[in-house]
Structures are given as structure tokens and as C-alpha cells.
Amino acid sequence: MTHKNPCMRCGTNRIVIRTSFEKIGNSTVTNIETSCPNPECQRKVDIDNKRQTDKRLAMKSRSEERARARKNKKTTIS
């Protein structure tokens, strides 16, 4: 199996550093962890990824708060 996954920063083919299998219900999900062969570049990619994840989590909690606020309003009206 060839796993083509170029680095988003430098375009070099990323290398697989770890493969793990996770059983979810009846299916097995394969988690492939890849890394840029250039450690310095990978470090920057990690920082970028973390920033993206933080942003997503912040957005998610904000929208959950809004949904909760809407629900609370509905119950007070009715």
C-alpha cells in the first residue's frame, strides 16, 4: 500500500511514524500517524495543527453555548 501524503508545508512525502488500529463497534479504524521527514518543518506543522484544533474547539464550545442559551429561552417563554 502506498500512502501518498505530501507535507502541507514543504510538499515532501510524509513518512508513516505509527500505525494503530482502533475497534469501533464492528469495524476497525486504522489510524496512520505521519510526519514530515524534516523535524523542523514537522514542528511548525504541529504548531499549526494545534492552532487549528484550538480554534475548532473554541468555535464548538461557542456554538454549544448559543444552543444552550436558545433552549433556555424557549423553556422560559413556554
Residues that bind Zn ion (CB under 5 A): 7, 9-10, 36, 41
> Judged by CB, which is closer to Zn ion: 33, or 64?
33
Give the rounded distance of the alpha carbon of 21 from its chain centre.
17
Residues sharing a CB contact under 8 Å with residue 31, sequence separation 6 or more, in sequence order: 18, 19, 20, 21, 22
**Cβ distance to Zn ion smaller for residue 6 or 64:** 6
Least distance CB 45 / Zn ion (angstroms): 6
Closest distance between Zn ion and the C-beta of residue 7, in Å? 3
Q: Are 15 and 37 in contact (CB under 8 A)?
A: yes
* Beta carbon of residue 26, minimum distance to Zn ion (angstroms, whole number): 37
